[in-house]
Amino acid sequence: MVQSALSFTAEELEALQARYAAAGQAHVFDKFDELDSQTMGDFYAQLSSIDVERCVKYFKSATAPPPAQDAADEIEPLAAGSFGSTLDGAQAEESAAWQAEGMRLIRANKVAVILLAGGQGSRLGSSAPKGCYDIGMPSHKPLFAMQAERIRRLQQLAAAGGAEVRIPWLVMTSAPTRAATQQAFADAGFFGMREDDVFFFNQGVLPCFGLDGRILLERAGRVAVAPDGNGGIYEALRTSGALDWLRARGVEHVHSYCVDNCLVRVADPVFVGYAALRGAECGAVVVPKSAWDERVGVICLRNGRYGVVEYSEITEAMAQATRAGSGELSYNAGNICNHYYTLDFLQQRLPEIESRLEHHVASKKIAHLDQASGRLVTPDKPNGIKLERFVFDVFPHVQRMAVLEVARRDQFSPLKNGPGAGFDCPETSRHDLIACCIRYAEAAGATVKTVPGEEPAFEISALVSYAGEGLESLRGKTLAPNQHITDLDSVVTV
């Protein structure tokens, strides 16, 4: 019997039970009356927050056999010349124009950034949000701090003319990381950002399903849920009020990136300016593949429309194909989850596009409650399904797309694996960022005196230089290899 102290009435409970029964999910209410009042109230609130009809529809659509096709999808590489490139100064004059336009938009307070930061550092041996991870630079600053300093440096550069420049920073968290992320920001004084320039919002979640299509319970009185994939960012932006917040601030252009890339150029004026000058509503930064068999998705054309094709979808012959004359791989536009959008696209076009997107099935081992026995089951093989969307699922529906190729060594070093893995790990992230800082110094005319056989520990604060600019005073100097440069007047020379 429903207890009077509960926050719902018997009629409301009956209506909710009827909805779940109609959706074929009546089992979630088995033994509901045996729960204590606190658990019962929390469970009712969770079940009420789930759009069960929509979730069941997603499951049925995602698990249905694909419709018969008259022909296989036609997959083609991006045509040479169809995208911009900053590699080897090939488009140096154009790049300068792109950067000038990007800086103009930043100066006019028309640019914001979205940080995808919902993941925990579990693979790194940490339970903290991944953005709190220290990759071992001389400053020992976490990823959040390094990225905040790049935003602050851009604000300083754009404000050189005297105008106040503010780049809003939207941080997408998840239920497990939200509190810890906000606490990390608060403890660090928002990493030097203005508190009212930072907007936190949560990635969405969806119920986990058994292979039979029944919603799984994590425990008595709790549905098992999982993040809805990085493609859930679009709905989360809308429902959290983030897009309205940006609109009220006059923002028109948005840069989106992942927290685990220590080389990311946050709010990159070159990329933003490039996309804006092309009149694009969506854009993507790509890097050349490290090898033909690198396990990375590639931006290309599928049936004449932009999309990301996973490495498993490309035959070995396609992956090894090269462009005539240059010898470059044909399928070479590695996707790194670094994107541009207009606010109009996110707010006005995407709702209709999302209604046409399918969810992807991820077969997983999902711990759950066996409701018949009351035991918690930890499976040793996949027993359930998590539904997710990918951030690039919208690409085929984009009317005007802009793709910009950049140097991997300058802008992409992902942190995916734990210490000692040998690739995409803290050691490679640190090595790549130190190497980038050394190149900045050497491009300014300095020499960094490294010791053969020893890894240098050389860092230039992003508050000193965003991407190598402003280092003219280093010309002719020989710099110690182990230092953190925070002030050009106090560099260590040898």
With cut-offs at 50, 70 and 90, classify the pLDDT of residue 311: confident
Average pLDDT over residues 260-273: 98
DSSP per-residue string spanning 110-123: -EEEEEE---B-GG
- Per-residue pLDDT reduced to its tens digit, 443-494: 999 999 999 999 999 999 999 999 999 999 999 999 999 999 999 999 999 9
Residue 364 pLDDT: 94
Residue 70 pLDDT: 60
Residue 1 pLDDT more than 50? no
Q: Please return the burial class of 317, using the count of CB atoms within 10 Å of its CB with bins 0-12, 13-18 and 19+.
A: exposed
- Per-residue pLDDT reduced to its tens digit, 71-89: 678 999 999 889 999 998 8
Residue 209's φ and ψ, nearest 5 degrees, are -115, 145
Average pLDDT over residues 92-114: 97
CB 423 within 8 A of CB 453: no
453 Cβ neighbours under 8 A, 6+ residues apart = none
Residue 480 pLDDT: 98
Q: Which of 221, 211, 224 minimizes the C-alpha distance to 368?
A: 224
Residue 69 pLDDT: 67
Residue 383's φ and ψ, nearest 5 degrees, are -130, 0
Residue 5 pLDDT: 66
CB 343 within 8 A of CB 251: yes
What is the Cα–Cα distance from 130 to 142, expressed in whole angstroms?
A: 9
With cut-offs at 50, 70 and 90, classify the pLDDT of residue 283: very high
What is the Cα–Cα distance from 265 to 106, expressed in whole angstroms?
A: 14
Residue 2 pLDDT more than 50? no
- Per-residue pLDDT reduced to its tens digit, 414-425: 999 999 999 999
With cut-offs at 50, 70 and 90, classify the pLDDT of residue 324: confident
pLDDT > 70 fraction of the chain, expressed in percent and rounded: 98
Q: In whole numbers, what is the pLDDT of the chain averaged over residues?
A: 94
Rounded to two decimals, what is the model's pTM?
0.93
Residue 4 pLDDT more than 60? no
With cut-offs at 50, 70 and 90, classify the pLDDT of residue 217: very high
What is the Cα–Cα distance from 13 to 10, expressed in whole angstroms?
A: 5
State the greatest distance between any 2 C-alpha atoms of the chain, in Å, as a whole number: 83
